[in-house]
Every structure is written in structure tokens, then in C-alpha cells.
Amino acid sequence: MSTQGHTWARQVKKEDEEEDPLDRLISRSGCAASHYAVQECMAQHQDWRQCQPQVQAFRDCMSEQQARRWEELQRRKERGRPTTETPNRLSPENGPAETSTRRDPGKKS
């Protein structure tokens, strides 16, 4: 008896092989070491209040990284080069998020 259907082999990634998007973002930021220091402190003390120096170091690192990224985006914008990234819409220096002003095509104004 012949079997019908495809003969493709489905590739399933193991959980160990998948990288967490947050870990990938932190690694690209250059702040992974301070992030891991926060995690280690939390594992050791089980109390975030005792990890404030590590939390502050991570916060400072991420703030510096965001400022560098923002400056680079501004330089690209000034040069007229298209950017593939958009700034964080929630950061205070960007002001309020823009809203769409699209009209409803069925509605007369």
C-alpha cells in the first residue's frame, strides 16, 4: 500500500538552540556583563533591594547605549541616509508618540 502526502522532513528547533529575543538585544547592546551581574546577584540574594548597585550599573549601560544609538540615527538622518531602525517612541527625548490621522473613506467631512 502506498502512502500519500509529502516526504519533507520537518525541522524542529530544540529549546536549547533558540535564543531569547531579550538576550539577543542585551548582547547587541554591549551591556550583557552588567545584565548577568544583576541576574547573579538576584540568584544569590533573592532580594532586588540588595542588588541596587548592579541594577544601576545595568541601567547606566543601557542609557549610554540608547544615547549612542539615538546619536547615530540622528547622524544618518542628517546625511539623508535611510534608517532601518526607529527610535524608542516611549523615551522622553522623543516626545509623545505620533498618532495616525487617516480618515475613514466612508465618512464625509
Which pLDDT belongs to residue 13? 53
Mean pLDDT score of the chain, rounded to an integer?
A: 76
Domain assignment present for residue 35? The answer is yes
Q: Is residue 12 part of a domain?
A: no
Does 41 reside within a domain?
yes
Q: The domain containing residue 78 runs over which residues?
A: 22-82
Q: Is residue 78 part of a domain?
A: yes
Q: CA quadruple 2, 6, 8, 13: dihedral positive or negative?
A: negative
Q: Considering its fold, how many domains does the chain have in total?
A: 1
> Considering only 13-22, 40-49, 60-69, 72-81, which range has the smallest mean pLDDT?
13-22
Does 90 fall in a domain? no
| Residue 57 belongs to some domain of the structure | yes
Cα diameter, the chain: 69
Q: What pTM value is reported for the model? A: 0.56
Q: Within a domain: residue 59? A: yes
Specify the higher pLDDT residue, 94 or 42: 42
User: What separation, in Å, do the N-terminal and C-terminal C-alpha atoms of the chain show?
Assistant: 68
Exposure letters 85-106 (e unless 16+ CB within 10 A, then b): eeeeeeeeeeeeeeeeeeeeee
